[in-house]
Amino acid sequence: MLKADFHIHTHCSRCSDMKPRDIIKNALTKKYDVLGIVDHDSIKGALTTKKVAGKKILIIPGEEIKTVHGEIIVLLSDGKYNKNLLDICDRAKDENHFIVAPHPFDYLRKGVKNNIVKVKKLDALEIFNSRVLVNRFNLIARDYAEKNKIPKIVGSDAHFIEEIGNAAVFLDCEKNIDSIFDYLIKNDNLKFYCKRCSIIPHLKSNIVLPFKRIF
């Protein structure tokens, strides 16, 4: 059984301070086999993490792209996407990249919300995000995925080391990207581990880090 988390940031996101080496070290102690590394509008941290991980952990590089219609994750992104949601969907289809809507109904952050109908290529919906402050937003996502038969995924959205381990998807498949995506799409009874973080990591992202960057 593979243990995976498809939503992790590195210090290449301004709201995170995690170094790739520390992510791998910590994720290994927590027995992760697969990590999706998705910085805000950048694949740089993901590529470095992939190098650092070697064969120890399978890294799926990607990015969390901010569009005017909300944030969208493109796993396997080559960093050449523009910020238009419709273009992203079209291109992801052509390139066979994997689209996830993160925290889609989080009304306190930048989910796609009602723009979800515009996401023409939606491979999976994040039905649980550990950083969602109001759990009802996660429940709305779960209901939406079930009603519309959209494959489900969960993510810690870790920005700090202590957040690694907050979410996991368990996959009974081979440790390669094709098998993993195939498994995610075809199984509607996936096993998840889901734990929400406290307010502290949010304060670190929004107050402590910006303060540190100034001084």
Binding mask 98-137 for Zn ion (x = CB under 5 A): ----------------------------------------
**Choice from 15, 139, 190, 208 touching Zn ion (CB under 5 A):** 15
Burial 109-125, CB ≥16 within 10 A → b, else e: bbbbbebbeebebbbbb
CA 80, distance to chain mean position in Å, is 18
CA torsion through residues 94, 4, 116, 40, sign: negative
Among residues 56 and 212, whose Cβ is nearest to Zn ion? 212
**Choice from 63, 106, 126, 157 touching Zn ion (CB under 5 A):** 157
- Given the rule CB under 5 A, which of 9-17, 54-62, 143-151, 174-182 is the region that contacts Zn ion? 9-17
Q: How many residues bind Zn ion (CB under 5 A)?
A: 4
CA 177, distance to chain mean position in Å, is 15
DSSP 174: -
Give the nearest distance from C-beta 6 to Zn ion in angstroms: 10
Among residues 17 and 157, whose Cβ is nearest to Zn ion? 157
Among residues 161 and 173, whose Cβ is nearest to Zn ion? 161
- Given the rule CB under 5 A, which of 18-26, 53-61, 62-70, 163-171 is the region that contacts Zn ion? 62-70
- Given the rule CB under 5 A, which of 11-19, 54-62, 167-175, 206-214 is the region that contacts Zn ion? 11-19
3-state secondary structure 182-203: HHHHHCCCCEEEECCCCCHHHH
Q: What count of residues does the chain have?
A: 215
Binding of Zn ion by 63 (CB under 5 A): no
**Per-residue CA distances from 65 to 29, 38, 47, 77, 84 (Å):** 29, 9, 16, 10, 9
Residues that bind Zn ion (CB under 5 A): 13, 15, 64, 157
